């Protein structure tokens, strides 16, 4: 018989949720942008989002519009999605294919895919103007196991491995660099980005909000990792007879080949702060790209990743995993939106945390230490 315990180290009732302004105040969000989003590597999706030469995607983080484009040389590069002439956005769509160069729709300044300015109409009589002086503003870009990260800060970025802080080693058995995206779903939340992360790192709401999930993985199972400076982590156990989180009655895919017996019985819930939620399963991986747009708006892009051997099967169908998490996600996003609305109301007062919400306490501390108090 499987047993579950509510045992956790006791916490004091003085451990409270944050005051409303941390989630609603535009000035505090601006401080977060400077202290967090411009001083850390930001998860920006998968390298197969722009898989072929001349393909691109656009990502948003606050006011920043980031263009990620694969050049004719096959290299993935990041730029601010802004023309150097009068600041017009170059690409208005979230993704697409380029004809060969980037051309501003306003005055036709044209850029090569390595960012160099190729042509600037009507500038030939401007004294001292040289096209080589006006490339697109480049953004540092790095990858880990097919996961793409960008850095928006003005100073040289730290090594991405410093921010990963061992997460890359921990999840090496999943070989995410070999996995391929089989589905994407985008969501628009009326909620602060911090509420999304807080929701992700507790399952006390699962019996009421996620009956489908709770039938396959008991909400009191698993363990929280001690908080790290750049990530939060937890796992939950699959119930006996359950092979993965899925809407299918029987397993549709073999476990990923690099996993041991223990890893095949767990689902992991990690946040690589501030914009990546990582959700490895025995047979697939889900990633969540958080795009904080405003104090009360967060866009989320989910990728479902599966092994090429599973994809190559004639009966391959990922819908069991996609549907499972699309339903679960929408349940969580509704709760996050409702939490935002409640916190923004005059009746909100900070409330006490449970002893099973220790990762939320640690995350609050992480934010305040980096951004400061209200």
Both 246 and 332 in a single domain? yes
Both 180 and 49 in a single domain? no
Per residue in 255-291, pLDDT (tens digit) is 999 999 999 999 999 999 999 999 999 999 999 999 9
Both 2 and 106 in a single domain? no
**For the purposes of burial, counting CB atoms within 10 Å of the CB of 225, is it exposed (0-12), middle (13-18) or buried (19 or more)?**
middle
Asked if residues 258 and 285 have their Cβ atoms less than 8 Å apart, the reply is no
Last residue of a domain, one of 136, 152, 168: 152
Residue 223: band (very low, low, confident or very high) from pLDDT cuts 50, 70, 90: confident
In this predicted structure, the answer to whether residue 348 has a pLDDT above a threshold of 80 is yes
CA distance to 64, 89, 114, 131, 132, per residue, from 85 (Å): 17, 11, 17, 11, 13
DSSP state letter for 227: P
Both 48 and 30 in a single domain? no
- CA torsion through residues 236, 242, 246, 251, sign: positive
Both 185 and 208 in a single domain? yes
pLDDT of residue 12: 76
In this predicted structure, the answer to whether residue 1 has a pLDDT above a threshold of 70 is no
Q: Structural domain of residue 258, as residue ranges? A: 1-39+160-374
Count of the separate structural domains present in the chain: 2
In this predicted structure, the answer to whether residue 4 has a pLDDT above a threshold of 60 is no
Both 258 and 316 in a single domain? yes
pLDDT of residue 2: 45
CA distance to 7, 193, 279, 374, per residue, from 371 (Å): 32, 14, 27, 9
Which residues touch 248 (CB under 8 Å, ≥6 apart)? 320
Residue 7: band (very low, low, confident or very high) from pLDDT cuts 50, 70, 90: low
């Amino acid at each position: 018989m499987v047993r579950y315990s509510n045992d956790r180290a006791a916490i004091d009732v003085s451990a409270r949720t944050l005051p409303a302004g941390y989630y609603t105040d535009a000035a505090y969000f601006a401080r977060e942008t400077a202290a967090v989003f411009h001083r850390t590597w930001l998860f920006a999706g998968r390298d197969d989002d722009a898989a072929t030469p001349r393909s691109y995607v656009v990502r948003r983080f606050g006011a920043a519009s980031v263009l990620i484009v694969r050049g004719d040389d096959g290299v993935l590069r990041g730029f601010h999605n802004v023309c150097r002439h009068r600041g017009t956005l170059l690409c208005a769509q979230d993704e697409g294919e380029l004809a060969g160069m980037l051309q501003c729709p306003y005055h036709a300044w044209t850029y090569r895919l390595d960012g160099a300015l190729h042509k600037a109409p009507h500038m030939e009589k401007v004294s001292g103007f040289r096209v080589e002086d006006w490339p697109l503003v480049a953004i540092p870009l790095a990858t880990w196991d097919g996961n793409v990260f960008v850095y928006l800060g003005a100073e040289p970025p730290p090594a991405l491995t410093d921010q990963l802080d061992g997460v890359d080693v921990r999840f090496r058995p999943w070989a995410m660099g070999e996995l391929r995206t089989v589905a994407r779903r985008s969501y628009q939340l009326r909620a602060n980005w911090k509420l999304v992360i807080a929701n992700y790192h507790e399952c006390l709401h699962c019996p009421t909000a996620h009956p489908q999930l709770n039938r396959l993985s008991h909400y009191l199972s698993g363990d929280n990792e001690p908080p790290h400076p750049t990530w939060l982590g937890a796992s939950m156990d699959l119930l006996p007879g359950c092979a993965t989180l899925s809407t299918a009655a029987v397993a549709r895919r073999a476990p990923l080949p690099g996993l041991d017996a223990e890893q095949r019985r767990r689902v992991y819930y990690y946040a690589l702060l501030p914009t990546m939620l990582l959700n490895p399963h025995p047979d697939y991986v889900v990633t969540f790209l958080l795009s904080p747009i405003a104090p009360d708006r967060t866009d989320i892009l989910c990728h479902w990743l599966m092994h090429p051997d599973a994809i190559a099967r004639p009966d391959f169908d990922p819908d069991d995993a996609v549907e499972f998490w699309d339903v679960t996600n929408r349940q969580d996003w509704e709760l996050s939106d409702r939490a935002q609305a409640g916190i923004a109301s005059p009746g909100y007062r900070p409330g006490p945390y449970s002893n099973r919400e220790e990762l939320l306490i640690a995350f609050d501390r992480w934010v305040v230490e980096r951004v400061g108090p209200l």
